[in-house]
């Protein structure tokens, strides 16, 4: 069996930015850079794609990092407020 772990690893935003910049500047493929860094090629490919979206080069309708955080953060905040008894009906602002 291989030595690959099934556990997900978390990387900082700074690490991701640096690795995307390396892909862009090295002239190497995403797979080559991923092997060199010891990260998954699929994960690195996703970071590169998200960077393109954040730069305005994505397909119409794709969410930027900032927009996706906002889209997912609001329902979580709303649910937390409801658990505390401070539910707000977003449709009417009450």
pLDDT digits (tens, 9 = 90+) for 61-94: 888 887 777 655 555 555 666 666 666 565 544 4
Element counts in the chain: helices (H) and strands (E): 4, 0
Contact predicate 8/15, CB 8 Å: no
| Residue whose entry in the numeric block shows the structure tokens 């955080």 | 69
Per residue in 20-68, pLDDT (tens digit) is 999 999 999 999 999 999 999 999 999 999 999 999 998 888 888 877 7
Question: What domains lie within the chain, and their CATH numbers?
Answer: 13-83 (1.10.10)
Contact predicate 71/63, CB 8 Å: yes
| Residue whose entry in the numeric block shows the structure tokens 């009450």 | 94
0.85 exceeded by pTM: no
Output the CA torsion 44→7→67→42 (10° steps): 20
């Amino acid at each position: 069996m291989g030595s690959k772990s099934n556990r997900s690893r978390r990387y900082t935003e700074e690490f991701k930015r640096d690795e995307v910049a390396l892909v862009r500047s090295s002239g190497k493929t995403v797979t080559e850079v991923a092997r060199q860094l010891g990260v998954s090629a699929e994960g690195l490919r996703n970071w590169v794609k998200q960077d393109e979206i954040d730069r305005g080069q994505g397909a119409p309708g794709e969410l930027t990092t900032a927009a996706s955080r906002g889209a997912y953060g609001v329902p979580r905040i709303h649910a937390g407020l409801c658990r505390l008894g401070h539910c707000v009906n977003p449709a009417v602002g009450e």
